[in-house]
Chain A
Amino acid sequence: MATTTAPAKRRTRARDTTVFLKFLMATTGIVFIGYVLLHMYGNLKVFAGQEAFDSYAHHLRTFGEPILPYGGMLWIIRIVLVASILGHLYAAFTLWSRANGARSQRYAVKKAAKATLGSRTMRWGGVAILVFVVWHLIHFTIVKPAINADVSASAIAESPFTMMVASFQLWWMVAIYLLAMIALGLHLSHGTFSAQQTLGWTQTARGYQRARTIGYVVAAVVVVGFALPPLAILFGIVG
């Protein structure tokens, strides 16, 4: 049959889709993963002693000199991180509100057949991480309050090592950080897999399984890697 009609095409764009928002979330998420891994590596330097840790912190600020000014690298990282957080949050909240709108009448009974705890807590877990980060920045970067009565503010300002040790000699401080790390671990256990799926790297059953495994490994490494220094300090192994 001869055709005299062509399907009507509405103008549509790839960047108007929810999947585009997910790309944003995945790329910023991967930036976070990279940052967190680096940060964790830095933190683990506390085991090398005060001098090594402090000089590492110093080195961070002089990195790239003289091309970059003092602290330049750090500022670049900070700008990237802030931009990423904004992007990540924008995408997260847009998708969150879409999802709420997609099911205004809830189920009386709803059970999960397969969903992991990580995947089900992405949103509130993310919020928890956000709260933690704000507190963390106040704690270690912006205000650096002398929480531990035994250590003076000036000593803290002098040496990041001292600052760490002073904080984590307090059990409740360690507890807060450990809780935050669990939230982060959950977020990453799903997030790391999810980012790969979002970016289309898991198109076979094997690739899919691999991404799942990477997710759990990254989460475990991050949780353990971050948890070690505070625990070591608390138990007097370091400091």
Chain B
Amino acid sequence: MALIDGLYTEGEKIADTKAPNVPIERKWTQRKFDAALVNPANRRKLSVIIVGTGLAGGAAAATLGEAGYRVKSFCYQDSPRRAHSIAAQGGINAAKNYKEDGDSVFRLFYDTVKGGDYRARETNVYRLAEVSANIIDQCVAQGVPFAREYGGLLDNRSFGGVQVSRTFYARGQTGQQLLIGAYQALERQVAAGTVEMFSRHEMLELIVSDGPDGKRARGIIARDLVTGEIETHLADAVVLASGGYGNVFFLSTNAMGSNVTATWRAHRKGAYFANPCYTQIHPTCIPVSGDHQSKLTLMSESLRNDGRIWVPKRREDCDKDPRDIPEEDRDYYLERIYPAFGNLVPRDIASRQAKNVCDEGRGVGPMVGDFRRGVYLDFADAIARLGEDAVRAKYGNLFDMYAQITGENPYETPMRIYPAVHYTMGGLWVDYDLESSIPGLFVAGEANFSDHGANRLGASALMQGLADGYFVLPNTIRDYLAKGPFEELSEADAAVAEARKSVEDRTQKLLSINGERSVDSFHRELGNIMWEYCGMERTAEGLQKAIDLIRALRDEFWRNVRVLGAADTLNQSLEKAGRVADFLELGELMCIDALHRRESCGGHFRAESQTEDGEALRHDDEFAYVGAWEFTPGTAESGIDSGTMGPPVLHKEDLVYQAIELKQRSYK
């Protein structure tokens, strides 16, 4: 078949087949009813592997353990409690309408689809909104210490571009508190013997068997990061809840170990990767201060509720002490351009405008490269209005964090912020049941693509993770498990042996190259390419260039990387090398996806597709679909893995909106 743009081919369309054909409000109830039940006595005979112990994976493991299945849970950290979900600050949405401000399941659903710029699947999002209220009940019962009012009832705030107060929070540590809740539930099951925990284990391959039961995901190959042992784990179903892949950009707000390996390996085994180019750039991060930087730190977006964003009107003022710049010389650009939403416009808009003013040369802070990359987030008004104590009570820990990192006192001088990669909306393609295109492989949380379209609203990732883990997956996976137990696999099975061998070979290969450059140096270079050409603003030309650069870099990686040490001990360079190797492949797919989507939507701005006044222009006629990519192997030219990526196949899933109408987003 002829290559499109010389890069990919197009395959058959795909569609979700699992959402029942009833009105949207009844779909989930109906699906739960239709899904087969598993007799409690049989559950002990069924096993599930869950990779990831974040909100999605931790909650799923706890719930499936409770239900009586045999669960094996994996994470690469030393404890499940450290999954990256712990870092979420701002809050979690739920349609509780405790504030009586007009919120409802439908409004949460509507806001989420709209916030995602109409690129999410309606049915999944509706269900998310529907179960959101249960999440809060569940977490409160577990002892999650949400913020409360003086009367003892739960407090809410409004968050990230919505006009109702539906965000539940626990100071600036909501993710931590929710995760600890899930972790405790998980540990309870560990003690009960239903969940077996494998921490410091990294999944390196998926086992897909093609036995008499048909093609199914049946297990994983994992490396014990302490002993280096390559282990085979088999089960009746596999769940990936391995989080997002924002670290492809090297600098992001993700944890150092966040990776794409689990999902990428599954992709290579046949799972479709949907919308890989959809990344969210978060507007309120602490700016980069130099080359040594290993990661970026997010400041909760809740800061935008009280802080005002501005830059100097004139370039000459950019290196002045901000307190000496008079009111009339300041440009509160968000308030100016978007009077209705002001500083609370969605993340993508806030980020892009920040980039624009910095590109105009009006950024503030130290020079990084040719520009100052930072804008002010000023609390002077809030402090004058509410008093310093009130501001401290609300944002104290964020201010402390800022002071600690930058060495500046934000109560006195305005904070400096700049956008940074934060979340990836793309991920493995799943249907309504969260099942991927490989039977028996389920994907939950940030690792799947399902609920946020082209842009995620604040406080909705936590909601999705817990919805998937506590409520959705446990109900849908039983429909699959009811068909099991499947035929026992042995280690000698061809699929198992092949998976294992490929992991061993790859490990050996990485250790034997012994080239000149460290893993980090490759990662950093890849990150620069991605940020430059596949970041906030993209052009066809830039993306083409990026693809060439990534290919060359990947090639060099497999010839010239230096990974010291041995395979049979804790070897952090080896861990990183494996992750970066996968990022080097993913990066290319992201660029291909970005290139083919010639529209601006959500967090994804294509320079070729904008309105006259420079706003994003979506093309619903051409692009109202999910781009799900199928992997094709290439021809091995230079050793293992490199050069083995063939042109991917694009499968489109048309997005059909029945419950709400497609509209151009406008925040003006």
Contacts of A4 in B (CB 8 A): 40, 43, 67-68
Q: A237 at the A/B interface (Cβ < 8 Å)?
A: no
A6–B66 Cα gap in the complex (Å)? 8
Q: Which bracket fits the contact residues of B? A: 10 to 19
> Are the C-beta atoms of A1 and B191 separated by less than 8 Å?
no
Query: Which residue of chain B is the closest to A4 with respect to CB atoms?
Result: B68
Q: State the majority secondary structure of interface residues on A.
A: loop
Task: Please report the C-alpha to C-alpha distance between residue A146 and residue B421 in the assembled complex, in whole angstroms.
Answer: 85
Whether A8 is near chain B, meaning CB under 8 Å from some CB there, is yes
Q: Tell which of B40, B68, B188 touches A7, judged by Cβ atoms closer than 8 Å.
A: B188
Q: In the complex, A8 Cα to B40 Cα: how many Å?
A: 18
Tell me if A204 is interfacial: C-beta within 8 Å of chain B. no
Q: Is the CB of B192 within 8 A of A7?
A: yes
Considering only residues 328-346 of chain B, those with a C-beta below 8 Å from chain A are none
Closest chain-A Cβ to B215's Cβ sits at a distance in Å of 28
A1-B474, A2-B40 given as contacts; is B67 within 8 A of A8 (CB)?
A: no
- Find the B residue at minimum CB distance from A6: B192
Q: Is the CB of A3 within 8 A of B193?
A: no
* B65, closest chain A residue (CB): A5
* Nearest CB in chain B to that of A1: its residue: B67
B63 located at the interface, meaning its Cβ lies under 8 Å from any Cβ of chain A in the complex: yes
Q: B194 within 8 Å of A by Cβ?
A: yes
Chain A residues, CB < 8 A from B40: 2, 4
- What 0/1 pattern do residues 186 to 207 of B give for CB contact below 8 A with A? 0011011110000000000000
CB neighbours of A5 from chain B (8 A): 65-66, 68, 189, 192-194
Q: Do B193 and A8 touch across chains, with their CB atoms under 8 A apart?
A: yes
Contact assessment for B191 and A3 in the assembled complex, using a CB-CB cutoff below 8 Å: no
How many CB-defined contacts (below 8 Å) exist between A and B?
Answer: 29
Residue of B nearest to A3 (CB): B66
**Which of A3, A4, A5 has the most C-beta atoms of chain B within 10 angstroms of its own C-beta?**
A5
**Smallest distance from the beta carbon of B404 to chain A beta carbons, Å?**
18
Q: How far is the CA of A124 from the CA of B193 in the complex (A)?
A: 45
| Contact, CB under 8 Å: A8 / B63 | no
Tell me which residues across on chain A come within 8 A of B64, comparing CB atoms.
1
- Given the complex, which residues of B lie within 8 Å of A2, measured CB to CB? 40, 67
Distance between Cα atoms of A238 and B307 in the complex (Å):
73
Count residues of chain A with CB under 8 A from any CB of chain B. 8
State in angstroms the CA–CA spacing of A2 and B64 once bound together.
Answer: 10
Most buried by B among A1, A3, A6, A7: A1
CB of B576, distance to nearest CB on chain A (Å) = 29
> A7 contacts B43, CB within 8 Å?
no
Residues of B with C-beta under 8 A to A3: 66-68
Q: When chains A and B are docked, how far (Å) is the Cα of A5 from the Cα of B474?
A: 16
Least CB distance, A63 to chain B, in whole angstroms: 55
Give chain A nearest CB distance to B168 CB in angstroms.
23
From 1 to 46 in chain A, residues with beta carbon under 8 angstroms from any chain B beta carbon are 1-8
Nearest-CB residue, chain B, relative to A10: B191
Question: CA separation between A6 and B65, bound complex, in Å?
Answer: 10
With both chains docked as a complex, state the minimum distance between the C-beta of B185 and any C-beta of chain A, in angstroms. 11
For B191, what are the chain A residues with a Cβ–Cβ distance below 8 Å? 7-8
Q: Which of B58-77 contact A (CB under 8 A)?
A: 63-68
> A2 CA to B68 CA in the complex, in Å?
9
Chain B contacts with A in 433-488, Cβ cutoff 8 A: 474
* B193 / chain A contacts, CB cutoff of 8 Å: 5, 8
Contact present for A1 and B66 (CB under 8 Å):
yes
Q: How far, in angstroms, from A143 to B621 measured CA to CA in the complex?
A: 107
- Cβ–Cβ < 8 Å partners of B65 in chain A: 5
A-facing mask of B357-391, CB < 8 A → 1, else 0? 00000000000000000000000000000000000
1/0 contact string of B158-196 vs chain A (CB within 8 Å): 000000000000000000000000000000110111100
B78 → A minimal CB distance (Å)? 19
Q: Shortest distance in angstroms between A75's beta carbon and chain B's nearest beta carbon?
A: 52
Complex Cα spacing A6 to B194, Å: 10
Min CB distance, A12 to chain B, in Å? Answer: 12
Q: Closest residue to A7 on the B side, CB-wise?
A: B192
Residues of chain A within 8 A of B43, CB atoms compared: 4
Q: Which residue of A lies closest to B193 (CB)?
A: A8
Q: Is there contact, CB below 8 Å, between B192 and A8?
A: yes
CA of A40 to CA of B536 in the docked complex: distance in angstroms?
A: 78
Nearest residue (CB) in A for B195 is A5
Output the least CB separation between A78 and chain B (Å). 49
A1–B473 CA distance with the chains assembled, in angstroms: 11
Q: Which residues of A contact B63 (CB under 8 A)?
A: 1
Chain A residue at minimum C-beta to C-beta distance from B470: A1
* In the bound complex, CA of A3 to CA of B63 (Å): 9
Expressed in whole angstroms, the Cα–Cα distance for A7 and B66 within the complex equals 9
A3 to B43 alpha-carbon distance, docked (Å): 11
Cα separation A4 to B68 with both chains bound (whole Å): 6
Separation in Å of the A141 CB from the closest CB of chain B?
A: 55
Tell me which residues across on chain B come within 8 A of A1, comparing CB atoms: 63-64, 66-67, 474
Residues 109 to 137 of chain B near chain A (Cβ within 8 Å)? none
Q: Give bound CA distance, A128 to B188, whole Å.
A: 47
A179-B335 Cα distance, complex, nearest whole Å = 73
In the bound complex, how far is the Cα of B67 from the Cα of A5, in angstroms?
A: 7
Q: Which residues of A contact B68 (CB under 8 A)?
A: 3-5
Residues of B with C-beta under 8 A to A6: 192
Give, as a whole number of angstroms, the nearest-CB distance from A178 to chain B.
Answer: 47
CA distance A126 to B318 in the complex (A): 65
CB distance from B71 to the nearest CB of A (A): 11
| A8 and B192 alpha carbons, distance in the complex (Å) | 5
Q: How far is the CB of A204 from chain B (nearest CB, A)?
A: 18
Can you add 9 more A-B contacts, CB < 8 Å, to A1-B66, A3-B66, A3-B67? A2-B67, A4-B40, A4-B43, A5-B68, A5-B193, A7-B189, A7-B191, A7-B192, A8-B193
Query: Would you list the 3 A-B pairs with minimal beta carbon distance, nearest first?
Result: A4-B68, A7-B192, A1-B67
A/B interface sample: 8 pairs, CB < 8 A: A1-B66, A1-B67, A2-B67, A3-B67, A4-B40, A5-B65, A7-B192, A8-B193
A residues lining the B interface (CB < 8 Å): 1-8
